[in-house]
Amino acid sequence: MSALQTVTASRSLDVARIRADFPILSRRVHGKRLVFLDSAASAQKPQAVIDAERHFYEAEYANVHRGVYWLSQRATDAYEAAREKVRRLLNARETREIVFVRGATEAINLVAQSYGRTFLSAGDEVLITHMEHHANIVPWQMLRDEKGTVLKVAPIDDAGELDLDAFARLIGPRTKLIAVTHVANALGTVLPVQAVTRLAKTYGIPVLIDGCQAVPHQAVDVQALDCDFYVFSGHKLYGPTGIGVLYGKAALLAAMPPWQGGGDMIRSVTFEKTEYNELPWKFEAGTPHFAGAVGLGAAIAYVQSIGYDAIATHESELLAYAMRELSKINSLRIIGQPRRRSGVVSFDLGGVHPHDIGTILDHDGICVRAGHHCAQPTMDRFGVAATVRASFAIYNDRDDVDALVAGLSTVREVFRL
Amino acid sequence: MSELRDLYQEVILDHVKRPRNSGALAGASHRADGDNPLCGDKVTIFLSIEDGRITDVRFQGRGCAISLASASLMTEAIKGKTEAEVRAMFERFHTGLTARDEDDAANALADLDKLAVFGGVREFPVRVKCATLPWHTLVAALDRATQPVKTE
């Protein structure tokens, strides 16, 4: 028993210490303690990330891959070191499989525009699920409108789970790409991505996984998943805005044409012919956001210093507490009851519009997302225009949940529920 | 809580519970749709206008308390008014919700009767678009706009 307690203690995370790492959490909003429950939209930044970017600009900044001078080499080394940190985070086989982009949205657009336009033709099908973020819907619609491809949508059940049998039945001879989210941003459902890739492999269909809501909460191993593309945004992983990652298997990336042309992505240019650069730089036209990449590298180091085991233990305990406390509130309905949930809980409170709830909670310094969460088809599936979504991160604690619950009782008071 | 009570006044909550002039208006001479895509608020305004005067008005919609109550109270306020009068009312209403100067805002709302209950919205700038959506849609209906209006 005592040994078990020791193990548990060593794996648990010191929230107070972590909160101290995030300067913004000490500020007050409307005179109240800031209760930040919108990390699924974008996470706050630890001092380590702010310092890393600041230090980079103050001491190591010059354009990358260009200068012969020392400073440019330092900047290039810092940029490429960040790429190596991402490789290790995802356990990718090679560093050249990591392409820096602006965010997950750009990563998916890159795959749609480069892979999709090259390897899919009229009648070919892209299979997604009913609980995708708009970023994993719209690029495929654009491809459909241009190339005449077909967008197939796998249904979800009332619990907010992917119907894996229906998903399997939708795979056919014309299915050329499968694009699924790892964790659904509006519901928190953890999808059986391993089963999806296993299924896809039997048919030889490439799989793209949107990892935006997974990477902040759990270790991801792209080799174990055996996915072909994996994308995420840095700003949801405590990193800077404007930097994100496309992981792609080297063979696929090598076969894909560049999607933007310009500097850095070329080896040589004449007016007759341009030779493209190697991976990954072939996909990084123009001066990249390397300062952001350095910040993302610092964010990864920060997360790894805490450890995904401790993060998962803390967050699942907190989420369970939140679910328990929210369930006690009369007329509160949680949207989606997936078996495995990560990071977020979406709910309706007595039919009060989420924006009214958002305004009242904000008055108490509580930040939640109120709206459709860029997942309108998911909202439609559950017959709501919008929900309130509380999302959790490493720096949230039971006080945050208690503040939310108290704020919701103010809502009930105002609306006489 | 008092600031919240200023925003969610009894009159507003009453109109949310029992919206006035709600539903489609058969034989409407003017109509327009409005929406706030970010919130998912939607409203349709139906008008019957005879000799430049609004003889009947109805609204259909879904949305937050502020936008629903605003639509409901607006329909009560504009019935029987001329086009010119309701356009002037919207101008005062807008000033009352957005004027930087507190007195300017209060003066603008002073002669708007019941609509003054929206004075509290001024303290919540992101909610101004909720309160003004029905009005923007009304103006679009008067202008016989064919494109849905957005207040974002």
Chain A residues whose beta carbon lies within 8 Å of the beta carbon of residue B130: 355
3-state secondary structure A169-184: HHCCCCEEEEEEECEC
Instruction: Report how far residue A235's alpha carbon sits from residue A244's, in angstroms, rounded to the nearest whole number.
Output: 8
A247-251, Cβ contacts within 8 angstroms, sequence gap of 24 or more = A247/A86, A247/A90, A247/A92, A247/A97, A247/A98, A247/A99, A247/A222, A248/A97, A248/A99, A248/A111, A249/A97, A250/A93, A250/A94, A250/A96, A250/A97, A250/A279
Chain-chain contact of B4 with A410 (C-beta, under 8 angstroms): yes
Choose among A359, A385, A413: nearest Cβ to B127. A359
The SS3 assignment for A98 reads strand
CA distance B40 to chain A (A): 6
User: Do residues B149 and B134 touch, judged by C-beta distance below 8 A?
Assistant: no
Instruction: Report how far residue A339's alpha carbon sits from residue A164's, in angstroms, rounded to the nearest whole number.
Output: 14
Fill in the amino acid letter for A384. Answer: V
Lowest pLDDT segment from A6-20, A100-114, A384-398: A6-20
Chain-chain contact of A359 with B124 (C-beta, under 8 angstroms): yes
Best of A138, A355, A379, A413 to substitute, by most chain B Cβ atoms within 10 angstroms, is A355
Residues of chain B with pLDDT under 70: 1, 145-152
Chain A residues whose beta carbon lies within 8 Å of the beta carbon of residue B124: 359
Give the confidence band of A11 by pLDDT, cuts at 50, 70, 90.
Answer: low
* Residue-averaged pLDDT of chain A: 95
Choose among A355, A363, A416: nearest Cβ to B64. A355
- The interface predicted TM-score of the complex, written ipTM, equals 0.88
**Residue of chain B with shortest Cα separation from A370:** B39
Say what the pLDDT of residue B146 is: 53
Q: Nearest-CA neighbor of B35 among B125, B143, B137, B140?
A: B137
Chain-chain contact of B40 with A386 (C-beta, under 8 angstroms): yes
Question: CB count, 10 Å around CB of A339?
Answer: 10
The residue-averaged pLDDT of A238-255 equals 98
Choose among B4, B13, B41: nearest Cβ to A363. B4
Chain A residues whose beta carbon lies within 8 Å of the beta carbon of residue B40: 371-372, 379, 385-386
Say what the pLDDT of residue A7 is: 44
Is the entire prediction scored with pTM above 0.90? Answer: yes
Give the confidence band of A9 by pLDDT, cuts at 50, 70, 90.
Answer: very low
Best of A32, A134, A356 to substitute, by most chain B Cβ atoms within 10 angstroms, is A356
Q: How do residues A132-153 score in pLDDT, each as one tens digit?
A: 999 999 999 999 999 999 999 9
User: Do residues B63 and B123 touch, judged by C-beta distance below 8 A?
Assistant: no
CA distance A348 to chain B (A): 13
Sequence-separated (6 or more) residues with CB below 8 Å from residue A183 = A189, A190, A191, A211, A212, A213, A214, A217, A342, A343
Choose among A360, A371, A410: nearest Cβ to B39. A371
CA distance B130 to chain A (A): 10
Q: How do residues A40-81 score in pLDDT, each as one tens digit?
A: 999 999 999 999 999 999 999 999 987 789 999 999 999 999
Report phi then psi at A247, rounded to 5.
Answer: -95, 135
Chain-chain contact of A415 with B63 (C-beta, under 8 angstroms): no
| Portion of chain A with pLDDT greater than 90, in percent | 90
Q: Which helix (H) or strand (E) holds A77?
A: helix A70-90
Q: Nearest-CA neighbor of B145 among B136, B93, B84, B87?
A: B136
Say what the pLDDT of residue B151 is: 67
Interface of A with B (CB under 8 A): 352-356, 359-360, 363, 370-372, 379, 385-386, 410, 413-416
Q: How do residues B1-19 score in pLDDT, each as one tens digit?
A: 678 988 999 999 999 999 9
Whether A367 is catalytic: no
Q: Tokens 């809502």 identify what position?
A: A411
Sequence-separated (6 or more) residues with CB below 8 Å from residue A188 = A160, A213, A336, A338, A341, A342, A343, A344, A345, A346
Report phi then psi at A110, rounded to 5.
Answer: -60, -45
Q: Tokens 């494109």 identify what position?
A: B147
Say what the pLDDT of residue A2 is: 45
Say what the pLDDT of residue A5 is: 45
Q: Which of the residues A212, A227, A367, A374 is marked catalytic?
A: A374
**Residue of chain B with shortest Cα separation from A384:** B40
Edge-to-edge order in the sheet of strand B30-36: B53-62, B41-50, B30-36, B149-150
Best of B2, B4, B128 to substitute, by most chain A Cβ atoms within 10 angstroms, is B4
CA distance B128 to chain A (A): 12
Say what the pLDDT of residue B39 is: 72
Lowest pLDDT segment from A10-14, A403-407, B23-27, B114-118: A10-14
Best of B3, B5, B8, B11 to substitute, by most chain A Cβ atoms within 10 angstroms, is B8
Termini Cα distance of chain A:
46
